[in-house]
Amino acid sequence: MEPTAYDKTDELENRYWWYIGRRFVFDKILSRFYQQDKTSKIADIGCGTGGNIPTLQKHGNVIGLDISQKALDYCQNKGYINTHLMPEQIPQTGLADKSLDLITMFDVLEHFQDDVSALAEYYRILKPGGFIFLTVPAFKLLWSELDEHLHHFRRYKKGELNMKLEKAGFEIVKSSYLFFFTFPLVFFYRVIGNFQEKKFHPQFKYVEFPKIINWSLVTLSKIEAFLLKFINLPVGSSVICLARKPKN
């Protein structure tokens, strides 16, 4: 990610609907499908500016890892001291074999040129029976200037992500698209945007709404969080997946 993206993320993560809505979804899925234990060891890979750490702390002891010192400075300024710089040899983590109960990666996997090797590394550091919980951006058709600014290598279909997880040895527990209700708006905005002239220097930019619309979108995300406890959504601008390393 460009350094300026961390500044913008820190500015938006507690007021922009997309960040707030995702956290409701994360909490509901973990509460429904993850064997909760306050002593669980959780690693948030690509923790960024730390916006998801408070939600994850409800489910165990969290260590935050990122390749950006700037991101970790934001975390530590918020009091998240157990955050550390990842080795430069991406996707290596520097963590011991079979040392974690849960790995989270929220919009991180698409940053790895070799995502299969990244998943193999996370399989290595998970305990047997441990979980990996991740989101990725969906559908190549939605590729935009934002993907370029964030240094994404790809967007995924749900089946493609499931296949790569299974190839790495994981068992799929829950897999769905996310942001179903807002997908038509995102589709229209991104597809129309792809016909516009591309900027030489792509920018980190979300469409910001008046407060009443922003909080209406948060409400829609809460509805999705409830639905995802019981069903999978057929389409969305993200894919969300919880997978498990077999016990044997």
| pLDDT given for residue 36 in this prediction | 74
| pLDDT given for residue 200 in this prediction | 46
Tens digit of pLDDT at every position of the chain (248 positions): 777 889 999 999 999 999 999 999 999 999 999 977 889 999 999 999 999 999 999 999 999 999 999 999 999 999 999 999 998 766 788 899 999 999 999 999 999 999 999 999 999 999 999 999 999 999 999 998 888 888 899 999 999 999 999 999 999 999 999 999 999 989 888 777 655 545 544 555 677 889 999 999 999 999 999 999 999 999 999 999 999 999 98
123-160: per-residue pLDDT in tens?
A: 999 999 999 999 999 999 999 888 888 889 999 999 99
Rounded CA separation 126/134 (Å): 14
Full residue range of the structural domain in which residue 197 is found = 3-244
Q: Which two tokens stand for residue 145?
A: 């200037």
**CATH number of the CATH domain containing 229:** 3.40.50.150
113 φ, ψ (degrees, to nearest 5): -60, -40
Q: What pTM was computed for the model?
A: 0.92
Q: How many domains does the chain have?
A: 1
